[in-house]
Amino acid sequence: MAVSADDWTDDPQAVDSFITRAKAVLDDNWTGRFTVPSPSLYPHQWSWDAGFVVLAYARYAQERAEQELAHLFAGQWKNGMIPQIVFNPDAPDTYFPGPDYWDAGRSPHAPDGVRTTGIIQPPVHATAVWHYQHFARDKERAVRFVERVYPLLAAWHHFLRRDRCSRRGLIHILHPWESGQDNSPIWDTVRKRTDVPEAFVKTAEAHRGDYIHKKTRPTRKDYSFYLYLVELFRAVDYDPKRMREVSPFVIQDVLFNTLYCRSLLDLGHLAHLIGEDPLPWWDEAHVTQVRMNEKLWNEHHGMYFDHDLTTNRRIKAEVAAGFTPLYAGIPRAAQAARMVRSLDSPKFYQVDERSWGVPSYDRESRKFSKSRYWRGPVWININWILCHGLRHYGYYDYAEHVRHAILKLPYENGFWEYFDPETGEGLGSDHFSWTAALALELILQPEYAQQVTEG
């Protein structure tokens, strides 16, 4: 039997109580200025997490959506970069590597008076702002807000185009953290061929106690690789050109480029709304679509693969992110049909089979782990992206199947960071913001939105 949420989504009281519980997670994680991803593990503001929570706030808490984005933009670099983390000076010193380790202020581009990291995360912000204005109850105020943030979004996209892409190619990332999928099997070959000095293994080991749930987190080797890359970037003062030169990790990532493409489409809509020219953004989106199809598509596997610019080779890791281009309208109809056949298979999430959503990695791979972070567990954000992508191509039944998993997992097991695809057990940290936010995005219908007072 397929997992179905119908038994409770037909019951208005159960739906109401689910909405209340999801909102309570976001209320608890709201610091008064921004939302922490989870109170236990992540006490700062993360870039793409902020975008995901705005998708929910857009529907019931207009002012909070504005505050969340304003806090993130306060950490924007002078060269337009939106950093992976904006550190919270009031947070306990529990997260490693923290602001002192990064020492991002050594870059002339770093913002004044705000501490951040020196790398990026996927660009979901124009999409978040588009949702914000679309659902805003006070439309005039929303347009004024869009006018204020549009130049900041434009600067962010100019940064990506100027500093993260050679000629008119795809965007490259320089660190696994930039993809959002920290220990994905995609990065295994790069990590293995990189000689990480022993000192970084020791530092990673010294902080192992910081990483709770060791069996469900990246390994010590992963962390030493992450820290080594940070050191390389710190040594060149986070200068974008030098970072590219010194990094052993230079990848054209499917998920990143998909979200970039979607972001460009949404930025074009925002431009149009405030009387600016949308065409340069849409042209850029079109170029990205074409390049992704030329360079990253794999017909045999029915999915897109990352490209390693150091070796100039495809990375054939069958991860769920390889299907996300559906979300930005990138595949043609025939490609999309091929992708759905790959998704609806024992490797991923077969209809009429007892499992819990699309796992982050091919379940038939010998490297699949049902509990280790981005190497198998179900992540709600990836499922949410797939759900919308499937709807876009008219695969409503399969999209519904994914939507049910997104709702059923937290309804039955709580708002966890990620989930075991076989049992549905919650993993990582409880009380996780984007799990609550994206479930809310899927379930908050206009009639609910009207009942709620501003957050």
Question: Distance of CA 138 to CAs 29, 145, 224, 453, Å?
Answer: 25, 11, 48, 13
Interface with ligand 2M8, residue 182, by CB under 6 A: yes
How far apart are the C-alpha atoms of 455 and 450, rounded to whole Å? Answer: 13
Nearer Cβ to ligand 2M8 (62/179): 179
Beta bridge partners of 371: none
48 binds ligand 2M8 per the rule CB under 6 A? yes
Q: Does residue 180 touch ligand 2M8 according to CB under 6 A?
A: yes
By CB under 6 A, is residue 415 in contact with ligand 2M8?
A: no
Helix, strand, or coil (residue 426): strand
Q: How many residues does the chain have?
A: 455
Helix or strand run (H / E) with residue 290: helix 279-295
Closest to ligand 2M8 by CB, 15 vs 439, is 439
Confirm whether 27 is a catalytic residue.
Answer: no
Per the residue annotation, which of 49, 163, 182, 362 is the catalytic one?
Answer: 182
**Is residue 73 a contact point for ligand 2M8 (CB under 6 A)?**
no
List the one residue from 60, 156, 177, 249 that touches ligand 2M8 (CB under 6 A). Answer: 177
Q: State in angstroms the smallest separation of the CB of 273 from ligand 2M8.
A: 28
User: What is the smallest separation between the CB atom of 77 and ligand 2M8, expressed in angstroms?
Assistant: 17
- Where does this chain touch ligand 2M8 (CB under 6 A) — which range of 46-54, 58-66, 390-398, 399-407? 46-54
- Tell me whether residue 18 or residue 42 sits nearer to ligand 2M8 (CB atom): 42
Judge contact between 382 and 320, C-beta under 8 A: yes
Which neighbouring-strand residues pair with 298? 303
Selected binder of ligand 2M8 within 34, 42, 297, 348 (CB under 6 A): 42
Q: Which amino acid is at 45?
A: Q
Please state, in angstroms and rounded to a whole number, the distance separating the CA atoms of residues 105 and 114: 9
Q: Cβ closer to ligand 2M8: 217 or 404?
A: 217
How far lies 379's CA from each of 61, 162, 190, 340, 356, in Å?
A: 25, 31, 23, 19, 10
Name residues contacting ligand 2M8, limited to 267-306 (CB under 6 A).
none
CA angle 306, 397, 321 (to 5 degrees): 15
182 as an active site residue: the answer is yes
- Which position among 30, 34, 46, 145 is part of the footprint of ligand 2M8 (CB under 6 A)? 46
What's the CA gap between 380 and 55, in Å, rounded?
A: 14
Nearer to ligand 2M8, 133 or 258 (CB): 258
Q: Is 222 in the site for ligand 2M8 (CB under 6 A)?
A: no
Helices 12-29 + 396-413 axis angle, to 10: 70
Euclidean distance between CA atoms 260 and 173, whole angstroms: 12
State yes or no: residue 318 binds ligand 2M8 (CB under 6 A). Answer: no
Report the alpha-carbon distance of residue 280 to residue 380 in Å, rounded. Answer: 32
- Point out the residues that are catalytic: 182, 417
Which residues of the shown chain bind ligand 2M8 in the complex (CB under 6 A)?
A: 37, 42, 46, 48-49, 84, 177, 180, 182
